[in-house]
Amino acid sequence: MDRDRILLTPGPLTTTLRTKLAMLKDWGSWDADFIAVTAQVRKRLLDIVQGHDTHVVVPLQGSGTFSVEAAVATVVPRDGHVLVPDNGAYCKRAAKLSQMMGRRATVFAVPEERPVSAAEVEAHLAADPSLTHVILIHCETGTGVENPLAEVAAVCERRGVGLIVDAMSSFAALPVDARTTRFDALIAASGKCLEGVPGMGFVFLRKAILDACAGNSQSLAMDLHDQHAYMVKTGQWRFTPPTHVVVALAEAIAQFVEEGGQPARLARYSDNCRELVQGMAELGFRPFLAPEVQAPIIVTFHAPAHAAYDFKRFYDGAKARGFILYPGKLTQIETFRVGCIGAIGRNEMRQAVAAVADTLREMGIPDGTPAS
């Protein structure tokens, strides 16, 4: 194999050579040059959501889930009560981490194949006035379904409750405009649609709620209010930052801007998704979701019904041909997932479909037709 394997996953992703090369230099975390990089990254992140007037952005070490946990702990008071519409694995994770931090959480189930309904969110808020916040997963990567952010945000604003958005796999690809969509917190990470490397999350916090966030968090390291206050005062991170991740993200954002920003990235990912779904359909594979609710981030496919199908063999066959797939997240039916994001385009998607076709032949499976 004369190239790195292509990661067809929802993060980590395939990155460009420019992004990889940015990590070859060591940085002092208190040095003025690194402080300037952090400031530039924060500014450019706010540019993406048009959030300079309404929000601050607070970076945090760790995977994206660290930042989800930090956001809930910082934004939701200890006597708060969150509503979590649940149409997938990451919704369940948000509810679990809320409860583990002592916040009351009410979960309502939504079928995995359909988006959250803003009307259902409003009905739950109307029925229980103790609810203070809603946690919405913008793109549920357990299936690939896109949930209606703007509509849910409008309900929360009308009802006077806070909105926390997990935009981990949607940020910088799906449009978000802080001028027209009100959210108390929106969370994303370096290793997703910005095409950086994993190791850093970031949370947009609404300026109007900042003062009320003081003292909410029971964690020293994950208190975003303290992290923000320290960063405003010194320009520095409170604790050792992932310096190489930060400079790689700065380089990745520069390429994002050069490409044309969010509209251009969405266009490329949408093209990747169409190419993938069409090519897999020609092999007999069927997506789990209807096209109208499918976000162009990751596609869940039904597994072939053939008796010879085994995901590990299928995965190993694709890997040997240069492509890393993702296992399914559904519990009731067997699936696998293929990501459309990262520093890849139409050619890589066609090559991936060819690798799947070769793997099926090797396994003695005529096509990807699922069980009825």
Question: For the segment 178-220, what is each residue's pLDDT rounded down to a tens digit?
Answer: 999 999 999 999 999 999 999 999 999 999 999 999 999 999 9
Domain with residue 189: its CATH number is: 3.40.640.10
188 in helix, strand or coil? strand
Residues 267 and 160 in one domain: no
Residues 246 and 327 in one domain: no
Helix, strand, coil % (nearest 5) of the chain?
Answer: 40, 15, 40
Q: Are strands 200-206 and 55-61 parallel, antiparallel or unpaired?
A: antiparallel
Mean pLDDT of the residues in the chain: 96
Quick one: pLDDT band at residue 329, thresholds 50, 70, 90? confident
Residue 1 predicted with pLDDT over 50: no
Task: Confirm whether 358 is domain-assigned.
Answer: yes
What residue type is 123 in one-letter code?
A: A
Instruction: Please state, as a whole number, how many other Cβ atoms lie within 10 Å of the Cβ of residue 32.
Output: 9
Residues 95 and 129 in one domain: yes
Secondary structure element (H or E) that encloses residue 245, with its range: helix 243-259
* Interval 220-248: pLDDT, tens: 999 999 999 999 999 999 999 999 999 99
**Total structural domains within the chain:** 2
Residues 247 and 280 in one domain: no
In whole angstroms, what is the distance from residue 54 CA to residue 40 CA? Answer: 18
Question: What's the domain range around 330?
Answer: 6-11+261-363
The residue out of 258, 290, 325 marking a domain boundary is: 258
Residues 335 and 208 in one domain: no
Quick one: pLDDT band at residue 4, thresholds 50, 70, 90? confident
113 closest CA partner among 275, 303, 287, 253: 287
Query: C-alpha angle with apex 261: 235 to 338, nearest 5 degrees?
Result: 105
Per-residue confidence (pLDDT) for residue 332, from 0 to 100: 81
Quick one: pLDDT band at residue 3, thresholds 50, 70, 90? low
Residues 185 and 272 in one domain: no
